[in-house]
Amino acid sequence: MKKIISTTNAPAAIGPYSQAITVNGFVYTSGQLPIDPKTGEMPDDIAAQTEISLKNVAAILEEAGTSLEKAVKMTVFVRDMGDFDKINAVYKTFFENDPPTRSLIQAAGLPKDAGIEIECIAVL
């Protein structure tokens, strides 16, 4: 049976979707923008955006009862593939050992003109 996951430690959905859903031992997050859940602000710098998006994913996973350590698949959408190295510099600090699989895709546009959006599949 699926269960909706919601936390105030990550930004609320900006459309008709859930922050995450758990089903059959997995949690699937929606894409997380780099919005600080406390201030509602989004920094301009891609490194800071990457960090906030990953922290938002982590907060949702925690609410579901799991963590980034149990992530099996990350999908990263970026506005500018030229930011690849800056994104990776931050990303690797979250996954120092046994990183999950990942796709990184350049998108023509992201909600709220963000530079990055990150979604995750993790085991419970």
> For residue range 47-99, what is the model confidence (pLDDT) as tens digits?
999 999 999 999 999 999 999 999 999 999 999 999 999 999 999 999 989 99
Q: What are the tokens at 70? A: 């149990």
Q: Please give the pLDDT value at position 21.
A: 98
Query: How far apart (Å, rounded) are the C-alpha atoms in residues 16 and 42?
Result: 21
Contact 19, 113 (CB under 8 A): no
| pLDDT at 101 (0 to 100) | 98
**HSE-CB of 12 using CA atoms within 13 angstroms:** 7
pLDDT recorded at residue 10: 97
Residues of the chain with pLDDT > 90, as a percent, come to 98
